[in-house]
Chains A and B, each alone.
Chain A
Amino acid sequence: MNSVRKAIGDWFALQQKVPFDWQESVWEAIPAGRPGMLNAPTGSGKTYAMFLGALCANPRPGGLRVLWITPLRALAKDAVRSMQEAADAVAPGVRVALRTGDTPAAEKARQERNPPHTMVITPESLHVLLSRQGASAMFASLTLIVVDEWHELLGSKRGVQTELAIARLRTIAPDVLVWGVSATIGNMAEATAVLHGRRDVTVIRATVHKNMERITILPDAIERFPWSGHMGLLLLEKAEHIVASLTSTLVFTNTRNQAEVWYQQFLDAYDHYAGTMALHHGSLDQHVRTWVEDALHAGTVKVVFCTASLDLGVDFTPVDGVIQVGSPKSVARYLQRAGRSGHRPGATSRIWLLPTQALELVEAAALHDAVEAETLESRRPILEPMDVLVQWLVTLACGEGFTHDLVAEVRSTYAYQHLSDDRWAWAVDFVTRGGVGLQAYEDFHKVRLADDGRYRIASRSQALRHRLSIGTISSDAMIAVKLQRGSTLGHIEESFIGKLEEGSTFWFAGRCLEFIRVRDMVAEVRPSTSTTGIVPQWMGGRMPLSSSLAQHVRMRLHEAANGHLRGPEMTCVRPVLDVQERTSRVPRQDELLMEELVDRDGHHLFVYPFEGRLVHEGMAALFALRLASIRPASYSLAMNDYGFEILSDSPIPLTEALQHGLLSTSNLSTDILGTVNAALLARRRFRDISRIAGLVFNGFPSKQKRARQLQASSELFFDVFTQYDASNALLQQAHEEALLEQLDEERMRLALERMNTQKLIRITVERPSPFGFPILVDRLRERLSTEKLEDRIKKMQAHFVGAEAAQALPFRGDGPTFLAPPKQPRERRRRRRP
């Protein structure tokens, strides 16, 4: 036992704690030079396990020894705090430093002059560091890389960024040891393989047993509980009772918009909480979030309304209860959030699920089953994303440059292990010549072959622009919201700000603000005394029901249909299921329900496979295509986690289509590819891809001017590529992503096979059933048409003339000038004082 192990022992004894066996296993394995995977949930003591293990192997300062990669900035700060504390106790002189986008420039410079022993960093910031000259020198002394919350990174493009960075670091420091830390997911073995390849790995499982109490908040009158919606404010009073009974509560919502609305409504109804309640989500400025986190630690806030931004991270000891607004849609998320409460030794984690619509009660019941059966979701790793590869090439070109030898390093990652020579050549061509084959490339300036035979960035301004874009993976163009005299409150999507007019009011960071103007990517605002205002809606938002959970939902419905109602949730929701059974049917396990409805909108067909939103998106498109092959028609499609709707202006030839194999699995792949919808889904996928690949440039932050002449939407790029460069690998990737994630042939085939074995129940309904209603009112719609454009326009024209005249436009001055008014954002919820 070395001296550090002894110091650790003393330190634990001082705090009257005893290390867990699995923590000691980690402390053995790291100094022994064995790579590994620690399977441990948040708040189990995994940070100490990993970091003290790192100190056992590297007890003395001197160069950068340990790199700690973490997915969330909010997490990073806490990790640094507890790690520095531990280092001070057992290995004096060891410095732990934080490196994220928020780190001040002076601190960054200091870190480069005098590297800390341990650096806590996000994947984006790591990429920025690797885009600098001198990256090799900085990382040459590295001995250990820890990837924290690996389950969170896996399955996202940030995970692929992490893989690429680790491959680079393995080249720079060949003996570096890699450890992953992951919560339990359905595909642990795969998660390990993505990080370690075929290496021999030590897997250590943290055995932490925690008591958990899961309660569902039930509405008093289910008859008056809505069939659709997602706010859940009807149950505000019950939520307050829970908050009042606890020391400190986290209220989790699924979207930032919901968190803002809940915060306002709660404050409105219970103003004595003013000063002891807070808001925390990813769009708020770092200093706001830090304040909230500190207050949570100190126990000075009673309730915090938050989103996934507080899913991870070290524990807030005072928190003794969690309220989840709306279905968490996944078992793993439910357990993760429950685990954010009850951290005193021997305490119980408590989670209340607050349903926002009637059928979420069924999901709540299914969640209990899933937790008991331990059916956890898998995270599927992303394979060969060309946008990330293109970004990576430019990143390296900004720093020390690269040669064609880099391909071996790239292929050493899991994501690119099968990267073909063609695709590699395409990626290099794309960044050096603009990827257009025979067309003019002389004027293309991005990466060029330098005199030393390495590919390097063409100019400093290109490098600057690229570094700015690295952080924008999976986030839209964001505009800072700043008080006219004061601090930055956070960031909102540009599309929302674009809809505001001078003087209009909106809610953000829990305050009502008046919009003044946008200047250089900053929206200036002042506090408003108005009580009405719109709440911004951020993109993203809708999480699909996981297939693991979907399966339990089907089972619960089957039971209910047979009169077997287990648990309070099912008893409560019974009247709604009774309406469903009376007006239509609650499908049994061996039944496939289809409902037909005619109203003034047209002819509706509802189908309920209960496979989750993503599968329904593809399946609705497949159905529409097969229906339209019988007779040309235009369809609009809507879907949720339970089923989908096909809407047409003419009768839907369902009987005919069923005879012609509507549910057939033959020709499935051709049919999937043929859905017009595939193009639409690909178009949507292309939004992120074009940003990551650096096609869409959002301008420089603050002070500097926006590069207006370089702005074009991803839509426009998609069209231009489709027309002029159809073999573009980014375009292909967009189609592949859509196919893989939304039009997944394998999942669709399994679902269709299951549906084929089921008895088809066709029911004509007079009005939407409880199952159909939430789909019917959904405004997010896909469209598919096999009619001629001209015919469609003629139909629409007939419809258009009858439409009401639009509102008058504002004329400016006295001249005959005019401009279209900015679109008024739909007001979602007005705030009223009692």
Chain B
Amino acid sequence: MTITLATIQAELLAERALYLPALHAVVCSDVHLGKTSTFRHHGLAVPDGPHITDLQRLDALVRRPGSASCAQLIVVGDLVHARHNHEWERFAAVRATWDNAVTLVSGNHDHHAMAFAQRAGIAVTPFLELGSMAFVHSPEDAHHGPDITICGHLHPAVVLHGRARQKLRLPCFWHRGSIFVLPAFGSFTGSMTITPQHGDRVWAIAADAVHAVHQT
């Protein structure tokens, strides 16, 4: 689904990412690499599957064919979950096959990842500004100035209500004023229910499609 953020064209992807045609950039947030392994290391027996499908999804995004090709991948924070483990290396191996730039706007989970990022060819910055767009991890770190600030951190989800007291909770993109919040990319991550306010725009992700759900 194509939308306009300030004056900038953007495409919302059901893979829980954003595509910016002007920059040929794929933007995602809160990947939480290594979360399942961290759990397993501490004796919490979660299956190893989620991170493998997450990596496949990311790889497919970066290798988007045609005009919407990806020249750079921007992760707005929490690329990794905790300490180094084999999931990071698997990511590094996949990253080595990409010839585009990867930028990590560091988030609260990323302080362990500095040396790893350098080794894996990932540029790390606490704050990124490209033209009139800014990229930060948490909405709380946004500054006045840029037309639009893209961030993550919140893992937003929206609850839809229908007649006959139907209810549905879905991960979502959330736009308010000059702030745009991405859903968490990692599938083994929780989410936080947001309360949209008058003027907000919200797009929910259901199965393999993005739906605009709140527009006024």
Point out residues on A near B: beta carbons under 8 Å: 430-431, 434-436, 439-441, 443-447, 458, 462, 465, 601-603, 634-636, 647-649, 694-695, 697, 707, 709-710, 712-713, 715-717, 720-721, 723-725, 728, 781, 783, 785, 789-790, 792-797, 799-801, 803, 805-809, 812, 815-821, 823
The reply on B98 being an interface residue by CB < 8 A is: no
- Contact between B195 and A443 (Cβ–Cβ < 8 Å)? no
B3 proximal to A (CB < 8 A): no
Within 8 A of A (CB), among B42-83: 42-50, 81-82
Quick check: B162 and A649 within 8 Å, CB to CB?
Answer: yes
Q: Is A709 within 8 A of B48, CB to CB?
A: no
> Assuming the A-B contacts A805-B216, A806-B195, are A430 and B45 also in contact, with contact meaning beta carbons closer than 8 angstroms in the complex?
yes
- How far is A634 from B160 in the complex, measured between Cα atoms in Å? 14
- Could you tell me which residues of chain B, from 13 to 43, have a CB within 8 Å of some CB in chain A? 36-43
In the assembled complex, the CB of B38 is this many whole angstroms from the nearest CB of chain A, namely: 6
B105 at the interface (CB under 8 A from A): no
- Find chain A residues with CB under 8 A from B164 CB: 601-603, 634-636, 647-649
Please tell me if the beta carbons of B50 and A720 are within 8 angstroms of each other in the complex. Answer: yes
With an 8 A cutoff between CB atoms, is B197 at the interface? yes
Known contacts A712-B190, A724-B49, A816-B142, A789 near B42 by CB under 8 Å: no
The answer to whether A436 and B162 touch across the interface, beta carbons within 8 angstroms, is no
Indicate if the CB atoms of A805 and B197 lie closer than 8 Å: yes
Bound Cα distance from A725 to B49, whole angstroms:
8
Question: In the complex, are the beta carbons of A815 and B143 less than 8 A apart?
Answer: yes
Taking CB atoms, residues of chain A closer than 8 Å to B161 are 796, 799-800, 803
> Taking the nearest CB of chain A, how far is it from the CB of B201, in angstroms?
12
CB distance A445 to B41 under 8 Å? yes
B-side contacts of A808, CB under 8 Å: 197
Chain B residues, CB < 8 A from A783: 166-167
Check A446–B160 contact: CB distance below 8 A. no
Q: Establish whether residues B162 and A792, one from each chain, have CB atoms under 8 Å apart when the complex forms.
A: yes
- Which of chain B's residues have a CB closer than 8 A to the CB of A447? 43
Residue positions of B touching A, CB distance < 8 A: 36-50, 81-82, 85-86, 139-144, 149, 154, 160-168, 176-179, 187-190, 192-198, 204, 206-207, 209, 211-216
In addition to A720-B187, A720-B188, A793-B206, 18 A-B residue pairs with Cβ atoms within 8 Å of each other are A441-B40, A445-B41, A462-B43, A602-B164, A634-B162, A636-B166, A648-B164, A709-B82, A710-B44, A717-B46, A728-B47, A781-B165, A790-B206, A792-B166, A794-B211, A799-B163, A807-B197, A823-B195
Asked if residues A649 and B188 are in contact (CB atoms below 8 Å), the reply is no
B163–A601 contact, CB under 8 A? yes
Chain B proximity of A154: nearest CB distance (Å):
30
Q: Which residue of A lies closest to B207 (CB)?
A: A789
Contact B46 A720 (CB under 8 A): yes
Cβ A818 vs Cβ B176 within 8 A: yes
Residues of B within 8 A of A601 (CB): 163-165
**Given A434-B45, A709-B38, A710-B42, are A790 and B209 also a contact pair (CB < 8 Å)?**
yes
Per the bound structure, the CA–CA distance linking A194 and B107 in Å amounts to 54
Contact A720 B190 (CB under 8 A): no
CA distance A796 to B216 in the complex (A): 15
What separation, in Å, do the CA atoms of A807 and B198 have in the docked complex? 8
> Do B40 and A443 have beta carbons less than 8 Å apart?
yes
Q: A796 and B48: CB pair below 8 A?
A: no
Q: Chain A residues near B216 (CB, 8 Å)?
A: 801, 805
Per the bound structure, the CA–CA distance linking A818 and B168 in Å amounts to: 24
Report the Cα distance A393→B36, complex, angstroms: 23
Query: Is the CB–CB distance between B163 and A805 below 8 Å?
Result: no
Q: Give every chain A residue within 8 A of B37 (Cβ-Cβ).
A: 440, 443
Q: How far is A712 from B82 in the complex, measured between Cα atoms in Å?
A: 14
How many residue pairs between the two chains, A and B, have CB atoms under 8 Å in the bound complex? Answer: 185
CB contact between B213 and one of A436, A707, A797 (< 8 Å): that residue? A797
Residues of chain A lying within 8 A (CB to CB) of residue B204: 793
Query: Within the assembled complex, what's the spacing in Å between the Cα atoms of A443 and B88?
Result: 13
Complex-state Cα separation, A247 to B204, whole angstroms: 62
Contacts of B193 in A (CB 8 A): 820, 823
Known contacts A712-B188, A720-B49, A805-B197: A799-B162 contact under CB 8 Å: yes
Q: How far, in angstroms, from A453 to B10 measured CA to CA in the complex?
A: 60
* B142–A795 touching, CB < 8 Å: no
A724 CA to B46 CA, complexed, in Å: 9
In the complex, are the beta carbons of B47 and A724 less than 8 A apart? Answer: yes
Contact A445 B42 (CB under 8 A): yes
Please tell me if the beta carbons of A819 and B139 are within 8 angstroms of each other in the complex: yes
Q: How far does the Cβ of A757 sit from chain B's closest Cβ, in whole Å?
A: 32
Give me the 4 closest cross-chain CB pairs, A-B, nearest first.
Answer: A724-B49, A446-B43, A805-B198, A602-B164
- Tell me how far the C-beta of B62 lies from the nearest C-beta in chain A, rounded to whole angstroms: 23
Specify the chain A residue showing the minimal Cβ separation from B156.
A820
Shortest Cβ distance from B142 into A: residue = A816
Q: Given the complex of chains A and B, what is the CA–CA distance between A25 and B212 in angstroms?
A: 76
Nearest CB of chain A from residue B37's CB, rounded to whole Å: 6
Measured in the bound complex, the distance between the Cα atoms of B46 and A435 in whole Å is 8
Residue of B whose beta carbon sits closest to that of A721 = B47
Which residues of the partner chain B approach A636 to less than 8 Å between Cβ atoms? 164-167
Write out the residue numbers on chain A whose beta carbons fall within 8 Å of the beta carbon of B165: 601, 636, 647, 781
- The CA-CA distance from A406 to B37 in the complex, in Å, is 30
Q: Report A-chain residues with C-beta under 8 Å of the C-beta of B42.
A: 445, 462, 697, 707, 710
Contact for A716 among B43, B190, B213, CB less than 8 A: B190
Q: Are A796 and B44 in contact (CB under 8 A)?
A: no
Q: Which residues of B contact A723 (CB under 8 A)?
A: 49-50
**Distance of A434 Cα from B46 Cα, bound (Å):** 7
CB distance from B170 to the nearest CB of A (A): 8
Contact partner, A806, options B85, B141, B179, B197, Cβ 8 Å: B197
> Which residue of A is nearest B162, CB measured?
A796
Q: From A634, which residue of chain B is reached at the shortest CB distance? A: B166
**A695 contacts which chain B residues (CB < 8 A)?**
44-46
Report Cα–Cα, A430/B43, bound state, in Å. Answer: 10
A725 touching B47 in the complex, CB below 8 Å, given contacts A601-B164, A792-B162: yes
Which chain A residue has the least Cβ–Cβ distance from B50?
A720
Residues from chain A with a CB closer than 8 A to the CB of B162 are: 634, 649, 792, 795-796, 799
Question: 10 A-B contacts, Cβ less than 8 Å apart?
Answer: A435-B45, A443-B41, A443-B85, A447-B43, A601-B163, A797-B212, A799-B163, A800-B160, A805-B197, A805-B216
Residues of A within 8 A of B86 (CB): 440, 443
For B209, the chain A residues whose CB sits under 8 A away are 790
Q: How far is B209's CA from A793's CA once the two chains are assembled, in angstroms?
A: 11
Specify which chain A residues have a CB less than 8 angstroms from the CB of B139 in the assembled complex: 817-819
Among A713, A720, A799, A816, point to the contact of B144 (Cβ < 8 A).
A816
Contacts of A710 in B (CB 8 A): 38-39, 42, 44
- Interchain CB contact (< 8 A) of A724 among B44, B48, B177, B194: B48
**Residues of chain B within 8 A of A446, CB atoms compared:** 43, 45
Question: How far apart are A781's CB and chain B's nearest CB, in angstroms?
Answer: 6
Q: Considering the chains assembled together, what is the distance between the CA atoms of A793 and B170 in angstroms?
A: 10
Q: How far is the CA of A440 from the CA of B39 in the complex (A)?
A: 13
Which of B85, B140, B192 counts the most A-chain CB atoms under 10 A from its CB? B140
| Bound: A759/B149 CA distance, A | 66
- A635-B162 Cα distance, complex, nearest whole Å: 11
On chain B, the residues within 8 Å of A436 by CB distance are: 45, 47-48
B-chain residues with CB within 8 Å of residue A694 when the two chains form the complex: 43-44
What separation, in Å, do the CA atoms of A803 and B159 have in the docked complex? 13
Query: How far, in angstroms, from A794 to B41 measured CA to CA in the complex?
Result: 43
CA distance A286 to B102 in the complex (A): 56
Chain A, residue nearest B167 (CB): A783
Choose one: A602, A712, A800, A816; the contact of B214 (CB below 8 Å).
A800
CB-CB under 8 A from B46, the residues of chain A are: 434, 695, 712, 717, 720
Q: Are A793 and B44 in contact (CB under 8 A)?
A: no
Contact of B166 among A785, A805, A807 (CB under 8 A): A785
Give the distance in Å from the alpha carbon of A781 to the alpha carbon of B214 in the complex.
24
Known: A434-B40, A445-B41, A720-B50. A816 touches B177 (CB 8 A): yes
| Central interface residue in A715, A721, A794, A816, by most chain B CB within 10 Å | A816
Bound-state CA distance A716–B49 (Å) is 13
CA distance A430 to B47 in the complex (A): 11
> Could you tell me if A793 and B160 are in contact, using CB atoms closer than 8 angstroms?
yes
